[in-house]
Every structure is written in C-alpha cells, then in structure tokens.
Structure 1
C-alpha cells in the first residue's frame, strides 16, 4: 500500500456514533439486549466477542441492512432509523469481499459513484485516487478472479471509501485471508484509517486483531456490553471474569475467603481487585505473566507442558488437586524447569481478580 501523503480531498471528518438501548431478537433468540455504546470521531472501535454475541447485528443495524426492535442509533447526534441504507453515508467491507466479478478493479471502486450519477471523468479520477491509496493502481484493469484475496479485500476497502463515508464498517474483513496476508493488511487498514481520520467500527472474534488495531475494544456477550476500554486497560483491568478469560489467557486457581475482603491462594493472603462474590466457592484468575515458578524438588507444582514462544516459554503446571496453571517465564529461566520437574509456585504481592467458581461449560 502506498505511503504517500493522502490528497486533501481524501480526508474526512470523523462522525460520532451512538447505540442507545438497542434491542433485536430473531424469534426466541436475543441478538442485542439493550446495547449502549458510543464511538468517538475518528476512533477505531473493535466489537469483540464470541459467535452469536450480537456484534455483526449491531453493525448491520448501523448500516441499515437490519432493523431493530427498540432503542435508537445516532450519527452525529441525529437518529438514522428512518434513513435507508443507501443514504446513511456509511461504507461497509465484508468478509467475503463481495466484488462484482464482471467489473474491473477500477469499475468496482467506482460503482457507488456511478449509482449516484457522478460523471465518467470524475469516477475515473476518484477510482485512480483510491487505487493509489490502497497500493493497487497497476491492477485497475484486472477482474476479481485475477486478484489475490488480499488484493480483492483492498479493492473492497477502496470501494467503501469512494463515496467519502462518515463511518467505515468492517465486518470480519480479514478472516478469509491467510495469516501472513492478514497481519500485513490489518496494519495497512489501521494506518489508512488513522490518516483518513474516519470513524471506524471493526467486527472481529479475533482478540489479537482487536487489541492490535483498535483505539478501544467493546467486548460483547449475549447481546450485552461487558466492557469497553483501551486494549491495555481491557487486558490489565478486565471488568468481569468473562472479559478476563476472553481477552488473553487466564488460569483459575481455587481460593478461600480469608476475611477483611481478602482471599487465601497458594498459601498466602491477597487483597481482592474489585468486588468479592457474596457467597459460594471462589477462584482466583491469573495471567501467565503473573505466575512465578522456581525449581524445587518437593514443590507443589508439576511441570506438564512447555511451549517455546521465543524470548518467553509458556509452562503448564499441575497442582495437587489437578488444577492446571499456565506461567510465562524467560526462556532461559524455563530451561531449569524440565517436563516432569517440580516447582514452587507463587503470585506477586498485588490484588487478585476473583470470580465465583463455576464449571467451564457455564463460562462459555
């Protein structure tokens, strides 16, 4: 993709987007259950969550491709429910590219302009400008079947931008691409979005994509917003156990109430980060980088697996009660803990995230 300075005419003013109490059901299935969410001008907001959480439904309602049962959607403070999809000033890029197979790359980019009655010369100039923007000017005369998947998705992105929309909507646009192309294209999309200043909503179920691309990430579960925060805050201070386990890797270790708002885990008392459940057995939730291991012939943890990750090696250890815990150690330190070896295990002196103990199937 070109790294040249963008033409002034290409820049757009980012719009605000608001979902207020948005509800949508399909028969007995509730897709959105009172979604409240605001997107700031020029922000890239990722909608993240498991399949069926409502993220694509929210995007389609914003685009005008889907109706809603209650609530409202506003763009720059104005309700848009009564505005048809083709007049909502939103560009959408789909997972499946959705290019017209009988049109060249340039004609695909210019299609929306043609539908608006834009003159031929202006259409050609705009298509060339957008093809330059996505780094494919030399492919203007090619048809979709003559392009790779990554190239087709760039053409789809250029087409979405051709009408200078106030909002750009990306519905899992990278999931059909191989890993190397996906990594390259997500970096290019992010750079382009920042340079254009366009408000963007990005739907994905891939946490790595969300955390690496977004200004903020909204985690949805069963049609409800669990948390909306910056990637670093989402990872370091998850608001709920669901967010903690969905974003990044978490281990659960049984804990006991120790009084004074503390819990006992691995033989030590720790303050609780957030609310302590009123009753029932407890688990402490731990990131791998917050688990400490040290070789000990009679230690309580048995090393059962190791995954080399470069500078870090992720070890899996099993405690006496069968609990499995993951720990990230510098690879040099991990070498002292071979498979079948034993280790002492401890936690940093900091508050811990606690959740009511439940079966794994109930946390899905």
Structure 2
C-alpha cells in the first residue's frame, strides 16, 4: 500500500496544536487542572494515564465536544476554543468504531464527503482510495456486521481521513480488539501516520501501546501533566515517582538519604534529580537494573518466563519484594526458595518518599 498524491498533499499541512491553561471541572471533580501542552506538526503524541486523569477530556476539547471552564485550544496559533466541532478540521476515531450499520464500508468512508456535497464520482473514488490505503480495497461492499473488529476500525480510520483533516484524534481505538489484532493495527496506524505526516493525538491507558507508537508521550495524573517526553526518556529518566511507577515495572527498595546520596542494599549511590526533604526514602529501580547472585539472606519467591528474559521475584530479609529481569539461561539457577543477594549498578537512582 502506498500514499496517494491526494494524501501527500494533506501531509504538507500538518498542524501545531496547543493547550494553554486548560481547566475543566465536573461538579467537585477537577478533570483538567491547568493543562499546558504543545503537539508538534506531524508528530504522534500519546496522552497516557489511568482512568479519570483527564486525557479524554483534553482530546474532546480539541475535537470541540467539550468546552473548558478556562484556558484556550489553539491550532496553528488560531484560537479554536469556541469553534464548533464540525469546523475544527479534525478527524476522530472512537473506541466503539461508530460506523453506520445500514451503510457498506465504501459509503461509511464517503459519508462525510457526502455531507459536504462532494460529487458522487469524486467521493467514491476518494473512499475507494482510502480503503486501499488501510488494506481493505476488496471489502468496500461489505456492511459493518460482515467485517471483523479490526476491519471495522480500519474503516473508521479511513472515514476520519476522508476529509483530509489537519489533526487526527484517536480515542483508545484499539482497546476493544483482541491482543493480536491490536498489535497489528497499532503498527499499521503508526505507519500510516508517519507516511501521511498528520499531527495525531492518541489517547490510551495502555503504556506499551503509547511507548511503541508515539514520538512523545504525555503522562497525566489527576488532571495534571506529570511529564511529556520521548518514550526512551520517559522510561529511563522519569521526572516523578508517579511516572516511574506508571510507565513500566518498578520496585521500591528502602534507603536512607545523606549528603545527596542514598544508602541502599549496602551500597551508597548518587541521587538522580531532586530528593525529598526526608531521610527515609524508597529507591525506585527497574527490573533490568537489578543484579542477582547466589548466596545471601534474600529468597527467590517466584519466577516468570518472558522469553529471552525471566522475571525473578526476590524477597529481602525485611520483607521487601524486588523484581529482577535476568537472561533466561542465567535465571535457571535461581528457582523458588533459592538463597540470593541483590545489587544495583553504580549509577544515580530515583528516590521518593517512603510509602510504608
């Protein structure tokens, strides 16, 4: 499948999107608490966070389905905060597909063009072109009930692209699909987005989805932006304890702060970033950073085969549980009940206030 001349022309118009001080309250609940965020032209930015963090509210404000109590939404510097949804020049794909059951795939894709009074021949040609773009060239005459979930979502994507939007909005579009289809479709969405060069905002609560698809990921928590960064930076250099624990797996190991360093597991390590104003802290560590050796006062309590790596869960003498990802051939030596010791590499670590 290739990008057509028609779609390439749309790709040159990728927009900059800005959220400035967005605040939205629903009764006593603050959905957005002063959101400031910029989506760069042509990038795919994922809004990631738990349910209720405000990510969908932000997306709906960009689409024009919600109005902020204060703050502004700008597209290429133009304030669109009060512009009706149908004039936003944005295409949206929902989790539920939202296809018209009485229309076949071709007519579903062409529906928006028909509403804009595009001539029959032109809209059918464009709809057929987009179905080919999403790999459904031979499914145009099938109705939604005759298509799989993945195929329906591709039709929904083609329909969103039919009007050549400058911004594409994806509201958890893969969450209703099974794991294998979800993996395939997220790769196709990313390929299409890169080929078309369209500015895209993608809402998800699935961290793997966000990290594998996005140019940058904006992690949200209780209406606030915790960190916005490229996936590798977000994973390797989380700005807050919430980001560290929400993105990927993280163990907390008790430590003691002193003079800008922390004592943990019998080691003294430098602190990465700002340290809390307390002495007793938790050191946050990824499982791939934990070393395991035979012999010691810790015990292996579980192992989980992950393919090339095996996750080994170790209980320290004080009851703390630590996860370590080891090459599977090495992990074979550490069965449940094995006496071991654990260590951390000699590099700065992230610390947070102790939770227990």
Same fold? TM cut 0.5: yes
Supply the distance in 1 between the matched residues of 2:32 and 2:279 (Cα, whole angstroms).
30
Task: Report the 3-state secondary structure (helix = DSSP H, G, I; strand = E; otherwise coil) of the residue aligned with 2:83.
Answer: coil
Aligned equivalent of 1:281: 280
Query: Is the Cα contact below 8 Å between 1:106 and 1:131 reproduced in 2?
Result: yes
Query: Is the Cα contact below 8 Å between 2:299 and 2:315 reproduced in 1?
Result: yes
Aligned equivalent of 2:192: 192
Q: CA deviation at 1:268?
A: 1.2
Per-residue CA shift, 1:162-219, capped at 9, x if unaligned? 0000000000000000000000000000000000000000000000000000000000
Aligned equivalent of 2:269: 270
Supply the distance in 1 between the matched residues of 2:81 and 2:259 (Cα, whole angstroms).
51
Q: CA deviation at 1:7?
A: 1.1
- Whether 1:340 and 2:337 are equivalent positions in the alignment is yes
Aligned equivalent of 1:362: none
Task: Report the 3-state secondary structure (helix = DSSP H, G, I; strand = E; otherwise coil) of the residue aligned with 1:226.
Answer: strand
Aligned equivalent of 2:182: 182
Supply the distance in 1 between the matched residues of 2:245 and 2:80 (Cα, whole angstroms).
35
Aligned equivalent of 2:154: 154
Q: How does 1:89-128 map to 2 (within 5 A)?
A: 89-128=89-128
Moved more, 153-162 or 274-283: 274-283
- Whether 1:73 and 2:73 are equivalent positions in the alignment is yes
Aligned equivalent of 2:6: 9
Supply the distance in 2 between the matched residues of 1:46 and 1:268 (Cα, whole angstroms).
37
Q: How does 1:1-364 map to 2 (within 5 A)?
A: 3=1, 5-11=2-8, 12=10, 13-257=13-257, 259-279=258-278, 281-296=280-295, 299-359=296-356
Normalised TM-score (structure 2): 0.98
Q: CA deviation at 1:281?
A: 2.3
Supply the distance in 1 between the matched residues of 2:6 and 2:139 (Cα, whole angstroms).
23
Supply the distance in 2 between the matched residues of 1:124 and 1:330 (Cα, whole angstroms).
54
Query: Is the Cα contact below 8 Å between 1:47 and 1:201 reproduced in 2?
Result: yes
Structure 2: gaps (5+ residues): none
Task: Report the 3-state secondary structure (helix = DSSP H, G, I; strand = E; otherwise coil) of the residue aligned with 1:53.
Answer: coil
The 4+ residue runs of structure 1 with deviation greater than 4 A are none
Task: Report the 3-state secondary structure (helix = DSSP H, G, I; strand = E; otherwise coil) of the residue aligned with 1:139.
Answer: coil
Task: Report the 3-state secondary structure (helix = DSSP H, G, I; strand = E; otherwise coil) of the residue aligned with 1:137.
Answer: coil
Structure 1: gaps (5+ residues): 360-364
Per-residue CA shift, 1:210-253, capped at 9, x if unaligned? 00000000000000000000000000000000000000000000
Moved more, 23-32 or 275-284: 275-284
Per-residue CA shift, 1:316-342, capped at 9, x if unaligned? 000111100000111111111111001
Per-residue CA shift, 1:13-71, capped at 9, x if unaligned? 21000000000011110000000000000000000000000000000010001111000
Q: CA deviation at 1:280?
A: 5.2
Normalised TM-score (structure 1): 0.96
Q: How many residues align?
A: 353
Supply the distance in 2 between the matched residues of 1:281 and 1:260 (Cα, whole angstroms).
13
Moved more, 178-187 or 328-337: 328-337
Query: Is the Cα contact below 8 Å between 2:67 and 2:82 reproduced in 1?
Result: no
Query: Is the Cα contact below 8 Å between 1:300 and 1:345 reproduced in 2?
Result: no
Query: Is the Cα contact below 8 Å between 2:15 and 2:42 reproduced in 1?
Result: yes
CA RMSD, 1 decimal: 0.8
Query: Is the Cα contact below 8 Å between 1:17 and 1:38 reproduced in 2?
Result: yes
Supply the distance in 2 between the matched residues of 1:333 and 1:135 (Cα, whole angstroms).
43
